[in-house]
C-alpha cells in the first residue's frame, strides 16, 4: 500500500511541474516575449486542487507526527518549521495574488498603487515559495529513497538552494522589468 508521505511526494511533483508551467508563462509575459493569455489564469486555477490536497495531507502528517513524538529526520526540525511557516505564508500571498489580479488583471491599465501592490505581493509570494521548495525538494527526495546518507542530503540541498535562488532572482527581475520598465515607458 502506498503511504500518505509518498502520495504527498507525488502531489509535490505535480505541483512543482504545474507551478513551473505557470511561472514560465508569466515570465515570458513579464519579459515581453509573449502577449497576455487566459492560460495564465487557467494554469493558476489548475494548481488549486493539488495544492489543497497537499496542504491537508501535510497538516495531517505534521500533527500526527507531533502527537506521537515522531521525528523521522532529527536534524531537520528547523527545516520543518520553515516549511510550516512558509506554507502558511504561501496561502496568504497566493490569496492576495489572486485577489489583486481579480481587481486589476494583467494586460489592463494599472495604477501606481495596483502595480506596487502586485509587485510586493508577487515578490513575497515568490520568496515564500522559494523557502518552501528549498526544504521540500530535498525532503521528498528522502521520501522517495534517493538520498540515503547525510552527505547526499547536504550536497543535494546545497544544489537545490542555488537553483531556487537563481529562479527567485529571475522571477523578481521579471517583476522589476514589468512594473518599473512599464512605468518608465
pTM given for the model: 0.85
Mean pLDDT for each 10-residue chunk of the chain (185 residues)? 84 88 85 81 83 92 77 64 92 93 78 88 95 88 80 89 94 87 55
Q: For residue 123, give the nearest of 103, 100, 107 by alpha carbon.
A: 100
Other CB atoms closer than 10 Å to residue 171's CB: what's the count?
21
The 10s digit of each residue's pLDDT in 122-146 is 999 999 999 999 988 888 788 778 8
User: How many domains are there within the chain?
Assistant: 1
Domain holding 99: CATH number?
Answer: 1.20.1300.10
CA triplet 66, 164, 132: central angle to 5 degrees?
20
Cell numbers linked to 151: 552527505
Helix (H) or strand (E) holding 68: helix 48-68
What is the model's pLDDT at position 148?
81
Q: Are 128 and 93 in contact (CB under 8 A)?
A: yes
Q: Output the pLDDT for position 37.
A: 78
pLDDT of residue 35: 85
pLDDT at 159: 94
Tell me the C-alpha distance between 175 and 16, whole Å.
Answer: 20
CA distance 144 to 152: 14
Q: Are 119 and 179 in contact (CB under 8 A)?
A: yes
Question: What is the domain range of residue 18?
Answer: 4-184
Pick the closest to residue 161 from 90, 79, 101 (CA basis). 79
pLDDT at 166: 95
pLDDT at residue 74, as a whole number: 56
Amino acid at each position: 500500500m502506498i503511504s500518505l508521505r509518498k502520495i504527498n511526494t507525488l502531489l509535490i511533483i505535480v505541483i512543482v511541474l504545474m507551478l513551473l508551467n505557470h511561472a514560465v508563462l508569466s515570465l515570458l509575459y513579464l519579459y515581453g516575449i509573449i502577449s497576455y493569455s487566459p492560460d495564465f489564469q487557467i494554469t493558476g486555477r489548475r494548481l488549486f486542487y493539488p495544492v489543497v490536497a497537499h496542504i491537508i495531507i501535510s497538516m495531517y502528517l505534521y500533527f500526527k507526527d507531533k502527537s506521537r513524538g515522531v521525528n523521522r529526520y532529527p536534524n531537520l526540525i528547523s527545516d520543518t518549521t520553515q516549511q510550516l511557516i512558509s506554507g502558511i505564508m504561501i496561502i496568504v500571498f497566493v490569496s492576495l495574488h489572486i485577489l489583486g489580479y481579480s481587481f486589476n488583471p494583467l494586460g489592463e491599465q494599472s495604477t501606481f498603487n495596483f502595480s506596487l501592490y502586485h509587485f510586493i505581493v508577487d515578490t513575497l509570494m515568490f520568496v515564500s515559495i522559494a523557502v518552501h521548495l528549498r526544504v521540500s525538494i530535498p525532503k521528498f527526495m528522502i521520501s522517495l529513497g534517493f538520498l540515503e546518507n547525510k552527505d547526499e542530503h547536504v550536497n543535494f540541498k546545497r544544489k537545490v538552494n542555488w537553483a531556487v535562488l537563481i529562479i527567485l532572482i529571475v522571477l523578481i527581475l521579471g517583476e522589476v522589468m514589468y512594473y518599473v520598465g512599464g512605468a518608465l515607458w
